[in-house]
A and B are shown apart, each in its own frame.
Chain A
Amino acid sequence: MDASNYLYISALLFTIGAVGVVVRRNAIVVFMCIELMLNAANLSFVTFSRINGDLNGQVMAFFTMVVAACEVVVGLAIIVTIYRSRRSASVDDASLLKR
Chain B
Amino acid sequence: MTTSTSLVYLIALPLAGAALLLLGGRRTDKWGHLLATALSASSFGVGVYQLTQMLGRSTEERPVSQKLFDWINVGAFNVDAGLLLDQLSICFVLLITGVGTLIHIYSISYMSHDQDRRRFFAFLNLFIAAMLLLVLGDSYLSLYVGWEGVGLASYLLIGFWNQKPAYATASKKAFVMNRVGDMGLSFAIMIAFATMGTVSFAGVAEQAENTSEAALTGMGIMLLIAAAGKSAQFPLQAWLGDAMAGPTPVSALIHAATMVTAGVYLITRSNFVFDAAPTAQLLVVIVGAITLMFGALIGTAKDDIKKALAASTMSQIGYMILAAGLGPVGYAFAIMHLLTHGFFKAGMFLGAGSVMHGMDDEVNMRKYGALRKFMPITFATFGLGYLAILGVPPFAGFYSKDMIIETAFNAGGVKGIILGSVTLLGAAITAFYMTRVMILTFTGTKRWDENAHPHESPWLMWLPMAILAIGSVSSGFLLSRGDALVNWLHPLFDHHEEHEQHLLEPIVVSGLALTMVAIGIAIAFVKYSRQDVASVAPEDVSVFTKIARQDLMQDRFNETVFMRPGQVLTTTLVATDEVVIDGTVRTVGKIAMGSGSALRGLQNGFVRSYAALILLGAVALVAAIWVVVQ
- Whether A22 lies near B608 (C-beta < 8 A) is yes
Q: Which of B55-91 contact A (CB under 8 A)?
A: none
Stretch at the interface among A41-49, A62-70, A90-98: A90-98
Q: Is A72 part of the contact surface with B, judged by Cβ < 8 Å?
A: no
Would A94 and B607 count as touching, CB distance under 8 A?
A: yes
A96 touches B605 (CB 8 A): yes
Write the A7-37 contact mask toward B (1 if CB under 8 angstroms, else 0): 0000000000010011101000010000000
Interface of chain A, helix or strand or loop or mixed? helix
A-binding residues in B (CB < 8 A):
603-608, 611-612, 615
- Cα A25 to Cα B611 in complex, Å, equals 12
Interface assignment of A87: CB less than 8 Å from any CB of chain B? no
> A99 near B: Cβ within 8 Å?
yes
A22/B611 in contact, CB under 8 A? yes
Q: What B residues does A25 contact at CB under 8 A? A: 608
Among A21, A22, A96, A98, the residue within 8 A (CB) of B603 is: A98
User: What 8 A-B pairs come out closest when comparing CB atoms?
Assistant: A98-B605, A95-B605, A22-B612, A91-B607, A21-B611, A95-B606, A97-B605, A18-B615
> Closest Cβ of chain A: how far from B614's Cβ, in Å?
9
- Chain B contacts for A92, CB-based, 8 A: 606-608
Interface centre among A30, A95, A99 (most CB of B within 10 A): A95
6 pairs of residues in contact across A and B, judged by CB atoms under 8 Å: A22-B615, A91-B608, A92-B606, A92-B607, A98-B604, A98-B605
Within the complex, the shortest CB–CB distance from A43 to chain B, in Å, comes to: 18
In the complex, the number of residue pairs spanning A and B with C-beta atoms less than 8 Å apart equals 28
Give min CB distance, A90 to chain B, whole Å. Answer: 10
Given contacts A18-B615, A22-B615, contact A99 B605 (CB under 8 A): yes
Q: Could you tell me the distance between the alpha carbons of A23 and B604 in the complex, rounded to whole angstroms?
A: 16
Residues of B contacting A96 in the complex (Cβ-Cβ under 8 angstroms): 605
Q: Tell me whether B604 and A95 are in contact (CB under 8 A).
A: yes
Q: Which of A21, A94, A96, A99 has the most CB of B within 10 A?
A: A21
CB nearest to B604 among chain A residues: A98
Q: Are A95 and B607 in contact (CB under 8 A)?
A: yes
Residue of B nearest to A21 (CB): B611
Interchain nearest-CB distance for B530 vs A (Å)? 102
- Set of chain A residues within 8 Å of B611, measured between Cβ atoms: 21-22
Chain A residues with Cβ below 8 Å from B603 are: 98
Give min CB distance, A75 to chain B, whole Å: 12
Using Cβ atoms and an 8 Å threshold, which residues of chain B touch A30? 608
Contacts of B605 in A (CB 8 A): 95-99
Residue of A nearest to B616 (CB): A22
Alpha-carbon distance between A18 and B615 when the two chains are bound, in angstroms: 8
Cα distance A7–B608 in the bound complex, in angstroms: 26
CB distance from A71 to the nearest CB of B (A): 15
A66 → B minimal CB distance (Å): 23
**Which residue of chain A has its CB nearest to the CB of B609?**
A22
Bound CA–CA A92/B611 (angstroms): 12
Give the complex CA separation of A97 and B612 in angstroms.
Answer: 17
A38 to chain B, nearest CB (A): 14
Q: How far is it, in angstroms, between the C-alpha of A40 and the C-alpha of B533 when the chains are bound?
A: 117
Alpha-carbon gap, A94 to B606, bound state (A): 8
